[in-house]
Structure 1
Amino acid sequence: MEIEQSNIANLPTKYGKFKIKAYKQNNQEHLAIMSENFESLKEPYVRIHSECLTGDALGSLKCDCGNQLNLALQFINQNGGLVIYHRQEGRNIGLLNKVNAYALQDKGRNTVEANLELGFKDDEREYSIVKYILEDLKVDKLKLITNNPKKIKYIESLGIKITQRIPAITKKNIYNENYLNTKKEYFGHYL
């Protein structure tokens, strides 16, 4: 697997000052967003955030993604750590297909049913870049910010010790209730 890397740069944000590094794997570019004190941390807080343009950038109320990213950046700024921005839009079906899945959800499908109807698996993501980033940044022990048991199992399968799980809980609304219920009932998320 050939991966290109950027240099580390400063990233001042509305959440605070961070360091940022980009990784390119095939046609996807991912980010490591680190607190300024990241290199000195023995057990950093880590959030593996799957890209969601509609939630992260547009403030969509159909999901909890943008709110989870905002909470993670605030938390990492205050407590130190890393957000891996995992650019696999729509559980890695891409933006065009995600919008098609939204149209099916408008007709009553949940996120899993919509993906399956479009010819995809319930979740097309793969995490090899996460392994690469954690190894590159020399993370072998962490406190994981997640509700997703699949991400916990993946990190543990790498031989990385998770010393604590921090929930990433946001508020339900009338638009994301079905989405959150599907995450809980189908994927087993800790909500």
Structure 2
Amino acid sequence: MGPFSTGDAQVRTRVRIPLTFADGYATTAEAVTFRGLADDREHLALVLGESAETPLVRLHSECLTGDVFGSARCDCGPQLREAVELISTRGGILLYLRQEGRDIGLYNKLDAYALQDQGLNTYEANAALGLPEDARDYTAAAQMLAALGAGELDLLTNNPEKARQLRALGVAVRETVPTGVHETPDNLRYLRAKIEHTGHTISLAG
């Protein structure tokens, strides 16, 4: 499983949770917790749908403002909702990673929002705060997949860095599957920055 040890990463708890979204979509997930992850955080796996030979997997970084409060400044909430349905239909795993604000934290993310209101894009705002443009490391995600026994998988993402890191960690990513484009007037600059700065595979109408 690559150049890191997964020996200490183990499944801790499995519990079934019924999920219902604001638009009425409902499904059931098996929530899985872990011990021994490299960053010692409380990441969560949601196993969805029937077992598939090649599971569909999404690495979703926590976004309190988008996932919980429905902020229109990003596309995180709609991506989470879409991913749960797609994975439930096909069978696979959603890793919910505690990496708020591309892993700079909630308060720093809101500070970056204030700078974006002054004209900086999302990456420039992080840099202006003396923070990494994207501090996320997916070693724990690779450990979680190993602990769940995931072999070859398809990765649901528009972000080439996720596939690059997982492959470097020894995860067999067969192909990437793009998410939908969740464009609004409020997140257009954010999405455009992801395309231009980090090569996200998003086609914008605006």
Q: TM-score range by the shorter chain?
A: over 0.9
Equivalent residues of 1:23, 1:31 under 8 A apart? yes
Equivalent residues of 1:67, 1:170 under 8 A apart? no
Q: Would you say 1:28 and 2:34 are equivalent positions?
A: no
For residues 45 and 35 of structure 1, the distance between their equivalents in structure 2, rounded to whole angstroms, comes to: 9
Equivalent residues of 1:50, 1:89 under 8 A apart? yes
For residues 33 and 152 of structure 2, the distance between their equivalents in structure 1, rounded to whole angstroms, comes to: 22
For residues 146 and 10 of structure 2, the distance between their equivalents in structure 1, rounded to whole angstroms, comes to: 14
Equivalent residues of 1:19, 1:36 under 8 A apart? no
For the residue of structure 1 that corresponds to 2:42, the secondary structure is strand
C-alpha displacement at 1:5, in angstroms?
4.8
Instruction: Percent identity, please.
Output: 40
Tell me which residue corresponds to 1:124.
Answer: 135
Q: Would you say 1:9 and 2:15 are equivalent positions?
A: yes
C-alpha displacement at 1:156, in angstroms?
1.7
Partner deviation per Cα, 1:51-86 (whole Å, 9 max, x = no partner): 111111110100111110000001111111100001
TM-score, scaled relative to structure 1: 0.92
Please list every run of 5 or more consecutive structure 1 residues that lacks an aligned counterpart in the other structure: none
C-alpha displacement at 1:102, in angstroms?
0.7
Distance 1:4 1:94, change over 3 A: farther
C-alpha displacement at 1:143, in angstroms?
1.1
For residues 156 and 42 of structure 1, the distance between their equivalents in structure 2, rounded to whole angstroms, comes to: 19
**Aligned equivalent of 1:87, options 58, 78, 98:** 98
C-alpha displacement at 1:4, in angstroms?
7.2
Q: Would you say 1:53 and 2:64 are equivalent positions?
A: yes
Corresponding pairs, count: 189
Distance 1:118 1:5, change over 3 A: farther
Distance 1:138 1:27, change over 3 A: closer
C-alpha displacement at 1:170, in angstroms?
2.5
Tell me which residue corresponds to 1:149.
Answer: 160
For the residue of structure 1 that corresponds to 2:184, the secondary structure is coil
C-alpha displacement at 1:154, in angstroms?
1.4
TM-score, scaled relative to structure 2: 0.86
Please list every run of 5 or more consecutive structure 2 residues that lacks an aligned counterpart in the other structure: 21-25
